[in-house]
C-alpha cells in the first residue's frame, strides 16, 4: 500500500511538482482535484501534457477523488488541490495521509493572511484558516513548504503569527 501526500497549490500540476516533489516523495500517481478543471477537457489536457508517462495522472472532481482515493494503490500518491476548502470534503479518504503541504496560493478575494517563503507566497482567508485548523485537530500534519530542499514552517508556528 502506497503513502498519500497532499499539496495545496493553486497551480495544480506544474514543473515544481513534477521535477521536485514527485521524485523526492517517490510518487507513482498524481491526483489533481478541481471541479472546474475536471469538467474541461482542454484544461485537463494542458495540465497533463507535460507530465512524464511514468506517472499515472488524474484530474478529477471532488466526488471522483473520494472514490479514487478509496481504491488501493501500490505506489505513493500526490493529491493536489487548489484551495484548502476542498480538504474537508476529502478528509475521510485521506486517513493514511503522511502530511499536507501548503505550497502556493495567489492573493484572491477574502485573502487576509500571508505566509511567504523562499520561492512563493501563500494567501489565506479566514475560512482557509478554519479549514486547516480543523484538519490539524483531526490529527493531520500540516506544513508550509515550497520545495523539498527549502525550510518548512509548521501550521502551529504560522498560526501563532495570525
pLDDT score for 116: 65
Kindly state whether residue 160 falls inside one of the protein's structural domains.
no
Indicate the pTM of the whole model.
0.94
Within 10 Å of residue 55's Cβ, how many Cβ atoms? Answer: 17
The single residue listed with the C-alpha cell 508556528 is 157
Kindly state whether residue 137 falls inside one of the protein's structural domains.
yes
85: CATH: 3.40.35.10
pLDDT score for 119: 54
Q: Which residues contact 124 (CB under 8 A, 6 or more apart)?
A: 84, 105, 111, 112, 113, 114, 115, 132
Flag whether pLDDT at 58 surpasses 70: yes
Flag whether pLDDT at 137 surpasses 80: yes
pLDDT score for 28: 97
Kindly state whether residue 162 falls inside one of the protein's structural domains.
no
| Nearest to 5, CA basis, from 149, 123, 138, 145 | 145
pLDDT score for 22: 97
Kindly state whether residue 98 falls inside one of the protein's structural domains.
yes
Q: Which domain covers residue 83, as residue numbers?
A: 4-155
Is residue 135 within 8 A of residue 90, CB to CB? The reply is no
The single residue listed with the C-alpha cell 480543523 is 134
Please give the backbone phi and psi of residue 98, each rounded to the nearest 5 degrees, phi first.
-70, -50
When pLDDT is averaged across residues 126-152 and rounded to a whole number, the result is 93
Q: Which tens digits make up the pLDDT trace of 87-118?
A: 999 999 997 899 999 988 888 998 888 876 55
Kindly state whether residue 64 falls inside one of the protein's structural domains.
yes
| Nearest to 48, CA basis, from 61, 37, 64 | 37
> How many structural domains are present in the chain?
1
Please give the backbone phi and psi of residue 109, each rounded to the nearest 5 degrees, phi first.
-55, 135
Kindly state whether residue 8 falls inside one of the protein's structural domains.
yes
* Residue of higher predicted confidence among 96 and 71: 71
Flag whether pLDDT at 149 surpasses 60: yes
Is residue 116 within 8 A of residue 83, CB to CB? The reply is no
pLDDT score for 120: 64
Mean pLDDT over all residues of the chain?
Answer: 92
Amino acid at each position: 500500500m502506497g503513502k498519500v501526500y497532499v499539496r495545496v497549490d493553486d497551480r495544480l500540476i506544474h514543473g515544481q511538482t513534477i521535477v521536485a516533489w514527485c521524485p523526492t516523495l517517490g510518487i507513482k500517481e498524481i491526483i489533481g482535484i478541481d471541479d472546474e478543471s475536471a469538467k474541461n477537457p482542454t484544461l485537463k489536457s494542458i495540465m497533463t501534457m507535460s507530465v512524464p508517462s511514468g506517472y499515472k495522472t488524474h484530474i478529477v472532481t471532488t466526488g471522483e477523488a473520494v472514490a479514487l482515493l478509496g481504491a488501493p494503490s501500490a505506489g505513493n500518491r500526490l493529491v493536489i488541490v487548489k484551495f484548502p476548502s476542498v480538504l474537508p470534503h476529502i478528509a475521510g479518504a485521506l486517513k493514511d495521509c503522511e502530511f499536507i503541504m501548503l505550497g502556493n496560493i495567489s492573493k484572491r478575494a477574502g485573502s487576509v493572511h500571508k505566509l511567504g517563503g523562499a520561492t512563493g507566497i501563500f494567501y489565506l482567508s479566514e475560512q482557509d484558516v478554519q479549514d486547516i485548523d480543523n484538519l490539524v485537530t483531526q490529527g493531520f500534519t500540516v506544513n508550509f513548504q515550497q520545495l523539498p530542499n527549502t525550510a518548512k514552517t509548521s501550521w502551529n508556528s504560522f498560526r501563532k503569527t495570525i
